Amino acid sequence: MTRFDAGPLPSLEQQHRDPQRYPDGVAWLDGQYVPISQAKVSVLDWGFLHSDATYDTVHVWNGAFFRLDDHIARFRAGLERLRLQLPCDDTQLRTILHNCVALSGHREAYVEMLCTRGTSASFSRDPRDAQNRLMAFAIPLGSVANEEQMQRGLHLALSDIARIPPQSLDPAIKNYHWLDLVRGLYEAYDQGAENVLLRHINGTVAEGPGFNVFALVEGTVLTPDTGVLPGITRRTVLEICAEEAIPARAQPLSVAALKAADEVFITSTAGGVMPVSRLDGIPVGAGKPGPLTAAVTKRYWAWHADERFAEPVEYGR
Ligand code: PLP
């Protein structure tokens, strides 16, 4: 008999053996801290069945959270817009996040807080009947770009797939509606690229899977102004530019301007500031990471030790 033939009901021991593997980490859910391998969500959860959820991702670098207040504020704003309610206040949320990191022991961590619509005992179709569910976890910090790509710049493709328009879903609500982005990724892989940028319905540049984009055009650093997640890394870059008197602004970014840019880079909590050296197979500027990108990257990581933004984790013994 194969695993999938109908047959007698399996014994209790046979009922669930997880075929997946997980990174090392700790999660919080239902009032408990558990190893990440045990942090499971019900198949009946609206978050899983309908992507009815919001989340935020913050990182810990060198044992300290970076801009945790800003990530919690963005998370709270998304929750409010979706009419989701947390079972705790911000102080308790902060404690949960700190504890996940401390228990994981990771000094560089990817830390996610998420809230799903949850479930109801009657499997009601009315979202108001569901009990919202908060979860959080800390795993090792990953990056959109690997070491080699950081050295030589990422190779991106520009997709014709339109990013879900803001009229349908406000991108300021950080969400798991990623099918446009994932379709774009496969399209990019088919073209030999490593990642993808999507456009808006009007053809201007939007963002990619988990990152915002910047272009140095005629001496000014530009990033798309609307229809994208207001990334915390994006904001940090704009603030760095302001502090360093580098001209920078958010405005619509055409594909032509992007392709003619002297430098292009992407930004994400997962990797920080990451250079782009090819777009649709064509070199960007000099075809290698540029000096402006390098200077901004250096400042970005320097800000991680700045008391304005760093919040140390207490790891205990
Ligand atoms: N855009 C999208 C769609 C994202 O999901 C993310 C982060 O996950 C970003 C941009 C970058 O935002 P941040 O810099 O806050 O990580």
CA–centroid distance, residue 133 to ligand 1 (Å): 22
pLDDT number for residue 18: 86
Nearest atom, ligand 1, residue 267 CA: 14
Measured by CA distance, the residue closest to atom 10 of ligand 1 is: 211
Could you please state the CATH topology (level 3) that the domain comprising 147-304 is classified under.
D-amino Acid Aminotransferase; Chain A, domain 2 (3.20.10)
Residue ranges lining ligand 1, Cβ < 6 Å: 57, 207, 210-212, 229, 231-234, 267-269
DSSP character for 226?
Answer: S
Nearest atom, ligand 1, residue 212 CA: 10
Domain ranges of the chain: 20-140, 147-304
**Burial per residue of 284-293, b for 16 or more beta-carbon CB atoms within 10 angstroms, e otherwise:** bbeeebbebb
Nearest atom, ligand 1, residue 233 CA: 14
CA–centroid distance, residue 159 to ligand 1 (Å): 18
Q: How many CB atoms lie within 10 A of CB 301?
A: 13
Measured by CA distance, the residue closest to atom 7 of ligand 1 is: 210
Cβ(269)–Cβ(144) below 8 Å: no
Dmax (CA) of the chain: 72
**Burial per residue of 227-241, b for 16 or more beta-carbon CB atoms within 10 angstroms, e otherwise:** bbbbbbbbbbbbbbb
**pLDDT above 70 for 4:** no
> What is the rounded CA–CA span in Å between residue 111 and residue 137?
6
pTM of the predicted structure, to 2 decimals: 0.95
Nearest atom, ligand 1, residue 269 CA: 16
CA–centroid distance, residue 313 to ligand 1 (Å): 23
- pLDDT: is 223 or 3 the higher one? 223
Residue 22's pLDDT band (cuts 50, 70, 90): very high
pLDDT number for residue 317: 57
> What is the rounded CA–CA span in Å between residue 209 and residue 191?
17
pLDDT number for residue 16: 73
Nearest atom, ligand 1, residue 232 CA: 15
CA–centroid distance, residue 110 to ligand 1 (Å): 13
pLDDT number for residue 9: 74
Q: Where are the alpha helices (DSSP H) in the chain?
A: 46-50, 68-82, 90-104, 147-152, 179-190, 232-243, 255-259, 291-302
Cβ(249)–Cβ(222) below 8 Å: yes
Nearest atom, ligand 1, residue 234 CA: 14
CA–centroid distance, residue 269 to ligand 1 (Å): 7
Question: Has domain 20-140 been given CATH number 3.30.470.10?
Answer: yes
Summarize pLDDT for 100-109 with one digit per residue, the tens: 999 999 999 9
For 125-153, give the DSSP string: S-GGGSEEEEEEEEEE---SS-HHHHHH-
Measured by CA distance, the residue closest to atom 13 of ligand 1 is: 231
* Plot region of 64 (φ>0 → left; ψ -120 to 50 → alpha; else → beta): beta
CA–centroid distance, residue 13 to ligand 1 (Å): 41
Nearest to 175 by CA among 59, 270, 53: 53
Residue 297, classed as helix, strand or coil, is helix
> What is the rounded CA–CA span in Å between residue 272 and residue 141?
11
pLDDT number for residue 2: 58
Summarize pLDDT for 190-215 with one digit per residue, the tens: 999 999 999 999 999 999 999 999 99
Nearest atom, ligand 1, residue 178 CA: 3
Residue 83's pLDDT band (cuts 50, 70, 90): very high
CA–centroid distance, residue 109 to ligand 1 (Å): 16
> What is the rounded CA–CA span in Å between residue 162 and residue 214?
18
- Across the chain, mean pLDDT equals 96
CA–centroid distance, residue 231 to ligand 1 (Å): 5
